[in-house]
């Protein structure tokens, strides 16, 4: 299982920069669909879609900090 990597055009990375990168799409054959984004700045956004329809999102900034994937304003932290 190798997955497919395709470049994507610039969009907002978890760190807030707008940058391009590569999208990795993979399928384990048991209903788990993996759609990961690897941004050029080093950020990652991991998306796992399970067979029951649930979606798990994980985002990690290029400095290694996990990010909540919600459109809430940054409260100056
Ligand atoms: Zn970044």
Determine the distance separating the centroid of ligand 1 and the alpha carbon of 39, expressed in angstroms: 7
Q: Taking the model in full, what pTM does it have?
A: 0.78
pLDDT digits (tens, 9 = 90+) for 15-69: 999 999 999 999 988 899 999 999 999 999 999 999 999 999 999 999 999 988 6
Task: Give the model's pLDDT for residue 69.
Answer: 66
Residues 32 and 47: beta-carbon distance below 8 Å: no
**14 CA distance to ligand 1 centroid (A)?**
6
Distance 5 CA to ligand 1 centre (A): 19
CA of 31 to the centre of ligand 1 (A): 30
54 three-class SS: coil
Which strands make up the sheet holding 33-39, listed edge to edge? 4-12, 18-27, 33-39, 44-49, 55-60, 66-67
**According to the model, what pLDDT value does residue 17 have?**
95
Instruction: Assign 70 a pLDDT band (cuts: 50, 70, 90).
Output: low
Lowest mean pLDDT among 12-16, 42-46, 73-77: 73-77
> For residues 50 and 40, what is the distance between their CA atoms, to the nearest angstrom?
27
């Amino acid at each position: 299982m190798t997955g497919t990597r395709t470049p994507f055009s610039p969009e907002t990375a978890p760190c807030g920069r707008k940058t391009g990168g590569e999208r990795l799409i993979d399928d384990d054959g048991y209903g788990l669909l993996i759609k990961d984004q690897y941004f050029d700045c080093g950020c990652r956004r991991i998306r796992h879609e399970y067979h029951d329809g649930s979606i798990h999102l994980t985002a990690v900034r290029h400095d290694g900090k996990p990010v909540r994937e919600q459109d809430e304003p940054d409260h100056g932290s």
